Structure 1
Amino acid sequence: MTEKSLQNCGKCGLCLSVCPVYKTLKQEQSSPRAKLQLIKAHDNDTLATSPLLKEIVSKCLMCGSCAANCPSGIDHYSIFMEMREKMVETLGETPAIKSLIYLLGREYRLKFGVGLARTGQKFVPGRFAKNHKLGNIPLKNFPKLNDIPFRKANDEIILPDKRSGKRSDKKQIGTVLYFTGCATNYLYDDTGLAFIGILKHLGYKIIIPKNQTCCSIPLLFHGAKDRALKNITTNINALKGHAVDAILVDCSTCGEALKNEYPRMIEKQGFDPLEAKKIAAKVQDSLSFIDQHFDNLEFDSNITDKLSVTYHAPCHTRNSFGSHIIAENLLQKLPFVNYKKTVDVNECCGGGGTFFYEYPKVSKKMVDKKIENAKAVQASLWTTDCPVCRMNLAGNLNDNDNLQVLHPLTLIHSALKQT
């Protein structure tokens, strides 16, 4: 990190008003400006590395809100990641996080680990699952892992429907590449199947590279830069060279990686970032893409009852793509939806990758407030376009809350006219 970027902090405090951790804890040391000053002192050798310093720096959702709202243009996101790397190099990581990083560092390891977890889900006693938690989420509320990984279950090249929505010429109108991410591949295949269905309906040929892997964001968040770079290289090789109109993501965190972190990381290592920048230029989130082609969607005219739907805007959707407003507008345009906006639609849910596991008490305060406000609008469906947000929101609901959490893609696809 550069001294200049840290010196730019005017300690104005605007970051406090947008930092979800600070707003929950009301502690100055939890604020982005305090972290910057601590990092500056550490860089100047006036503050020693310590477990407390590591905890302060790590107690951050890496949501990007501080950077997105900083009047001085400070890239808190990159500075915090670099500091986390230094802390891990000196102090190490917890066994659980080490295991996660190890699995995410190679696709075959992740596939093996998920297979074991899938088997474990089948044999965990109900009482144990009810009484034990992973972070702030009861084990009984964790989603079931996909029976077959999504990319394995689907072809690498998928052709569009013969009848493409409202188009009369019935021809393929373009080609897109789908970066599925780990969550769709191993956890939420309903999201992937819905997205494929929508894209086929619109008339797009879909390419799903088989050799893509973890986007690398969890690795970067936990200081595993070298392993992250291997994943980044693997994904660049998987995504480059395809003649496509867009590279689409159903997870805005994956999109943040492809769009912003890949060019930055490659260039920082002294390599030519040309391919990474070409990829970044084509990255688009799923809901923005669908909104652009909304007029070509044909919905089932037999659906007459309107569904009460609300929305939670993930942090990276807001701060990396600025598409949260597009997502809300899209929901309001759906003819079968009665959209009910919550007062805190843009507030963080406390999921934050592994934040819900590492700091469950803080996360629990955030998500409980979100649930309270979602219930207040009396919606039956709660949509969000981030798999960790989905896991955190759904995982903390009670059986009598009468709310189903799903990706907006699943909602849209369920109402399309069948070909």
Structure 2
Amino acid sequence: MGIDWDRIEREFYQCNKCGLCLAACPVGKELLLEKYTPRGKIQLARFSRNGNLEISERLRDIFTECLLCGACTVTCPSGVSLTDLFVAMREVLTSTTGLPPNMKPAVEAIGESHNISNEDNSERDEWAEDLEELYNEVSGKDQAEVVYFVGCVASFFPMVQYIPQNVIKILDAAEVDFAVLGGKEWCCGFPLIGAGAPGDLTVVKEHNLDMVRSLGAKSVVFSCPSCYRTWREHYGPEFSLFHITEFIADLLEHGRLKLGGVEETVATYHDPCDLGRHGGVYDAPRKILQAIPGIVLKEMENNRARSTCCGGGGNLEMTDPALSRRITKKKIEETQATGADTLVTACQQCVRTIKGAVRREKINLNVFDITETVARALQV
């Protein structure tokens, strides 16, 4: 990818050490040591870059204790691009000291099997077993206006395989001309960037672009915010890119999708980091929920750009699962404070992280991806 060190080094000196980022950082608030805070990491990066601090596995591990959620960046009054700085440092540290041990299997799997699970990539479509007729139609197309890019997590993790099932039902109900890539889809490359090992990003990027080009598509739709973000930031402007919430909101606005009511539900919406802070998509999910009779929407104290991470970002779930769970617990407590019985989000990783914690702790809280809410309200 290439690091723009001139720009990154300007960030070092733009920080005025005010400490406002400390109050926004979920990791810093849990670990309570300066070196784990955004302010502390900036100083470690500066000393390392200036040659005053040795690059080591310990330093690498400090920078892995980060969700890359961007809460510090939107809070910073000096406009420091902290997330960019932390990603750059991960790349430097990984290239020098090697991958963090818990990240190595996922990175190697992407190179070998083209997915994070190291599964046979031809099994990417196992989520479609109950929708064989519809899936065969959309996966067998030679041409389509829209490609639905499913992503690794929703393809291989049973807990969230209902998301792509819902998406293809919704797109079909709206009579969208769309296709899916099935086993021809490769990991978008997002985990490589977070691991500080973006060397193979070009390979997966060019493959995925070629697959979409082969269908003559004009647009790509994503239910995974991290895939969406990776395409927006690294794949170039060749195609129009939409998160599924943006796409559904547009279908509703133009009368192409009809939704009925659902059983009365008090819901709160969790803004995923990669969709909200990193993608700027806040209104579309709320417009969808407000368009469904029966849903009463209550906002969390921290919402939109101030939303707190679910605990599953930045590969933290792999590098420090205990810390990830502590942060998830705080997210659930914030959800419960709204009085909502249902948490709706728009990210398969957020669903996995929060729903997994709810199940472990036997908490009475429904956790849904927004596509489930839309699918239940579909008028076909």
Matched position secondary structure for 2:145:
strand
Structure 1 residue 204, shift from structure 2 partner: 0.9
Would you say 1:340 and 2:294 are equivalent positions? no
CA–CA distance in 1 between the matches of 2:269 and 2:351? Answer: 11
CA–CA distance in 2 between the matches of 1:6 and 1:242? Answer: 45
Would you say 1:233 and 2:206 are equivalent positions? yes
Counterparts in 2 of 1:25 and 1:213: CA distance versus 1, 3 Å: same
CA–CA distance in 1 between the matches of 2:262 and 2:372? Answer: 18
Deviates more, 1:374-383 or 1:56-65: 374-383
Query: Alignment partner for residue 389 of structure 1, among 350, 354, 373?
Result: 350
Structure 1 residue 407, shift from structure 2 partner: 0.8
**Percent identity between the two aligned chains:** 27
Question: Which residue in 2 is equivalent to 1:221?
Answer: 194
What is the aligned-residue RMSD (CA, Å)? 3.0
Would you say 1:306 and 2:279 are equivalent positions? no
CA–CA distance in 1 between the matches of 2:270 and 2:262? Answer: 25
Q: Which amino acid aligns with 2:237?
A: K
Ranges in structure 2 where 5+ consecutive residues have no aligned partner: none
Query: Alignment partner for residue 204 of structure 1, among 176, 181, 186?
Result: 176
Question: Which residue in 1 is equivalent to 2:33?
Answer: 27
CA–CA distance in 2 between the matches of 1:379 and 1:317? Answer: 22
Question: Which residue in 2 is equivalent to 1:246?
Answer: 219
Task: Answer whether contact 1:150 1:184 (CA < 8 A) is retained.
Answer: no
Structure 1 residue 91, shift from structure 2 partner: 2.1
Task: Answer whether contact 1:158 1:205 (CA < 8 A) is retained.
Answer: no
Q: Which amino acid aligns with 1:148?
A: E
Ranges in structure 1 where 5+ consecutive residues have no aligned partner: 117-144, 160-173, 264-275
Deviates more, 1:304-313 or 1:200-209: 304-313
Aligned residues, how many?
359
Matched position secondary structure for 1:214:
coil
Structure 1 residue 344, shift from structure 2 partner: 3.8
1:282-336 per-residue CA deviation (whole Å, 9 max, x = no partner) reads 1121112211222422234xx5631232221111121122223432342122113
Structure 1 residue 29, shift from structure 2 partner: 1.6
Question: Which residue in 2 is equivalent to 1:157?
Answer: 138
Query: Alignment partner for residue 292 of structure 1, among 234, 241, 250?
Result: 250
Task: Answer whether contact 2:342 2:366 (CA < 8 A) is retained.
Answer: yes
Task: Answer whether contact 2:27 2:37 (CA < 8 A) is retained.
Answer: yes
The 5-angstrom pairing of residues 5-404 of structure 1 reads 5-107=11-113, 113-114=118-119, 148-150=126-128, 154-155=135-136, 157=138, 175-187=145-157, 188-210=160-182, 211-240=184-213, 243-260=216-233, 262-263=234-235, 276-279=236-239, 282-295=240-253, 296=255, 297-300=257-260, 303=261, 305-345=263-303, 346-398=307-359, 400-404=362-366
Q: Which amino acid aligns with 1:180?
A: V
Task: Answer whether contact 2:146 2:218 (CA < 8 A) is retained.
Answer: yes
Task: Answer whether contact 1:177 1:244 (CA < 8 A) is retained.
Answer: yes
Structure 1 residue 90, shift from structure 2 partner: 2.5
Q: Which amino acid aligns with 2:363?
A: D
Matched position secondary structure for 1:52:
helix
Question: Which residue in 2 is equivalent to 1:267?
Answer: none
Deviates more, 1:69-78 or 1:343-352: 69-78
CA–CA distance in 2 between the matches of 1:100 and 1:245? Answer: 31
Task: Answer whether contact 2:113 2:120 (CA < 8 A) is retained.
Answer: no
Counterparts in 2 of 1:365 and 1:219: CA distance versus 1, 3 Å: same
Q: Which amino acid aligns with 2:373?
A: L
TM-score by length of 2: 0.84
Deviates more, 1:54-63 or 1:83-92: 83-92
CA–CA distance in 2 between the matches of 1:19 and 1:299? Answer: 38
Structure 1 residue 158, shift from structure 2 partner: 6.6
Structure 1 residue 353, shift from structure 2 partner: 4.7
Structure 1 residue 374, shift from structure 2 partner: 2.4
Counterparts in 2 of 1:304 and 1:55: CA distance versus 1, 3 Å: closer
Q: Which amino acid aligns with 1:42?
A: S
Counterparts in 2 of 1:71 and 1:340: CA distance versus 1, 3 Å: closer
CA–CA distance in 2 between the matches of 1:41 and 1:353? Answer: 23
Task: Answer whether contact 2:115 2:152 (CA < 8 A) is retained.
Answer: no
CA–CA distance in 1 between the matches of 2:215 and 2:278? Answer: 24
Task: Answer whether contact 2:163 2:348 (CA < 8 A) is retained.
Answer: no
Deviates more, 1:350-359 or 1:186-195: 350-359
Task: Answer whether contact 2:292 2:377 (CA < 8 A) is retained.
Answer: no
